[in-house]
Amino acid sequence: MVSETKESQRHDFGPRDGNQSSPTEFLTMLPDELWREILDQVYPSRDGMAAVPSAFTSWGHAIGVIARDPMRRMRAMQKYRSQLRLVCKRLEPIALGVLFQDIILPHHHTELELLFEIAQETHGAPSSPGDLTRRLMTRLCFPDEDGEMEEGKTYDRQLDLIHKTFPNINTLIIDDAFSTKVTTFYLDWITGVKHLCWYPSPLKYEQVVQILAQNPELQSFVLSSPSGSLYCWPKHAPPWGNMKQFFIGYPPHTPFLATLPPDLDRLGFTFGTHLALDLSRLSSKMLTSLEVHWSTSRERPLIMDDILSLLYACPRLEVFTTSTCYSFVAPKASYEAHPSLRTLCITNAVGLVDAMLRQWGIIRSCCGYPHFNRVLVLTRPTYMMQVADSLVRFLHEEHDIPLEFVLGEL
């Protein structure tokens, strides 16, 4: 009797005519659009910034956190994505579409030419890399010390073909890690994108203006600028256009904050050793997320009243993200609850976190100065156990803190 029940249950999942079905036939029960979304979420891409504050740190150097090689991370993700093609033939075209969403451009002009030829030959095909690509990562090619100028010019001319070959790109990640001393860049090809990450060579202010002018729909801009590279920031605002998220490694002097777009949603920057910004001049009062890091070589102590005045100047702020700063001056003023700020995110924790938490007034029976209700502590795997032990000790000592604590991995 049991055997008959199992048999009937097994046939209930098969076709109604009683024919034996292949397991892959059940894949047709979901539309291709849904399968594409499922596969895309297995190894997701990033359109500029991610939705949670912890994800900002993965852009690393652009906001003052030691970064992993972005090329290596992209290649690792693409390696796993390519294996999705092996699930079954039915899903292979969809998996190819997910794979070709992101492409790493070769930085040698002959390899780049070959890629363009393949994309153009397959133009219009269901799995054409040119039509499917949404995000491009490239390392810019520059003449080396031996003066290979002609090769650099050839590469520049090929960059002009990018939008013809990949008409649907909306995100560019430019990594020129091999050329950190180069300050002259060919930028005419950077047009029509919504998200741009420049990593890590400095750009002159005029070059920033050129990029903004060529990309009026640019929504997020991660600009890695070594300390001192943007000192000559004028008092007038650049053409920000539709900018919503802006991250800069080391901003210039005081005028910088006063020239930001008023409706900016997310902002991040690093305080260098030289920086003494007048935080009261911030022109972006509509921020919901603010990320501020401190240079490890910073000589001046952090004055908590200054940073708290910045937080309270942003009435819609929801998340404040920062890194460890052990040299600080405790606040002298008293603070009511912030109207919207509830989450403190501490990134790149490498050791004891109790001093950082007490810096923000998080002690027994107290939620901190802006009255947080949630604290995220993020660290790399190397430091996870050390940070976890420190956090456990802190919570044991300050056992009556009415806060939610979350420990996460970068």
Average of pLDDT values for 107-125? 74
User: Is residue 132 included in any domain, yes or no?
Assistant: yes
User: Is residue 2 included in any domain, yes or no?
Assistant: no
Judge whether 229 and 202 are in contact, CB under 8 Å: yes
Among candidate residues 406, 398, 327, the one with its CA nearest the CA of residue 368: 398
User: Is residue 65 included in any domain, yes or no?
Assistant: yes
User: Is residue 194 included in any domain, yes or no?
Assistant: yes
Count of structural domains, the chain: 1
- pLDDT of 185 over the 80 cut: no
- Expressed in percent and rounded to 5, the helix, strand and coil fractions of the chain are 35, 15, 50
Average pLDDT, the chain: 73
Residue 113 in 3-state DSSP? helix
User: Is residue 53 included in any domain, yes or no?
Assistant: yes
pLDDT category at 87 given cuts 50, 70, 90 is confident
User: For residue 396, which amino acid is it?
Assistant: H
Q: How does pLDDT run across 248-260, given as a tens digit for each residue?
A: 876 655 567 788 8
A 10 A CB-CB count for 69 gives 12
In angstroms, the CA 288 to CA 314 distance is: 8
Q: How many helices (H) and strands (E) does the chain have?
A: 13, 14
Pairing of strands 328-329, 220-223: unpaired
- pLDDT of 316 over the 90 cut: yes
pLDDT category at 395 given cuts 50, 70, 90 is confident
Q: For residue 204, with 0-12 CB atoms within 10 Å meaning exposed, 13-18 middle and 19 or more buried, which class applies?
A: middle
Among candidate residues 263, 280, 45, 10, the one with its CA nearest the CA of residue 171: 45
Judge whether 252 and 232 are in contact, CB under 8 Å: yes
In angstroms, the CA 334 to CA 196 distance is: 40
Cα–Cα–Cα angle for 136, 137, 138, nearest 5°?
Answer: 120
Domain region containing 139: 32-226+242-249
User: Is residue 206 included in any domain, yes or no?
Assistant: yes
In angstroms, the CA 264 to CA 407 distance is: 29
DSSP states of 189-209 as a string?
T--S-SEEEEESS---HHHHH
Q: How does pLDDT run across 15-67, given as a tens digit for each residue?
A: 445 555 555 566 667 888 888 888 878 777 654 333 333 333 333 333 333 34
- pLDDT of 214 over the 80 cut: yes
User: Is residue 260 included in any domain, yes or no?
Assistant: no
User: Is residue 89 included in any domain, yes or no?
Assistant: yes
